[in-house]
Amino acid sequence: MDAKILNKANEIMKQAKQAYVGSIDKEGYPNVATRSLIHPKDMSSCFFSTGTGANLMSNINQNNKAGVCIREGGNNISLHGTIEIITDKAIKEQMWLDWFINHFPKGVNDPTYCLLKFTAIRGTLWVDNVYDQFIISEIEQ
């Protein structure tokens, strides 16, 4: 993959505020929901928060395979990988954002506050009119 395109895609990821997260429901159908990205570093992984009662949670508990799509202007990054539920209190505190209080009134200790980590395995992108498919392990430096 062209280094310039890779760098641009990672910058888009770092600046993105939200993503479309796709999961598979118990009947085998895709379910897509918008989620706010939390501290994304690059295309290899990112965090989301959600409530323990959300459809995304029940889907992940049955099948942790997921897709994440980020769109910025005419650029598009689609990633496929897995999502894990983070229960480590220190990580949950580190990823907490002040505005989460609107969803989790008891703060970081709210029993409905759930942190999810998406880890990409492969992806497809359209950045600056360049199309590419890639395996994350092959582009990590």
Residue pLDDT, tens place only, 41-52: 899 999 999 999
Backbone angles phi, psi at 91, to 5 degrees: -70, -40
Burial tier of 71 (Cβ tally within 10 Å: 0-12, 13-18, 19+): middle
**pLDDT given for residue 41 in this prediction:** 85
Question: To the nearest whole percent, how much of the chain has pLDDT over 90?
Answer: 91
Burial tier of 43 (Cβ tally within 10 Å: 0-12, 13-18, 19+): buried
Task: Give the CA distances from residue 101 to residues 16, 27, 78, 116, 135, in Å, rounded to whole numbers and listed in that order.
Answer: 21, 33, 29, 17, 37
**pLDDT given for residue 140 in this prediction:** 64
Burial tier of 12 (Cβ tally within 10 Å: 0-12, 13-18, 19+): buried
**pLDDT given for residue 139 in this prediction:** 84
**pLDDT given for residue 141 in this prediction:** 46
Residue pLDDT, tens place only, 69-105: 999 999 999 999 999 999 999 999 999 999 999 999 9
CATH superfamily of 3-139: Electron Transport, Fmn-binding Protein; Chain A (2.30.110.10)
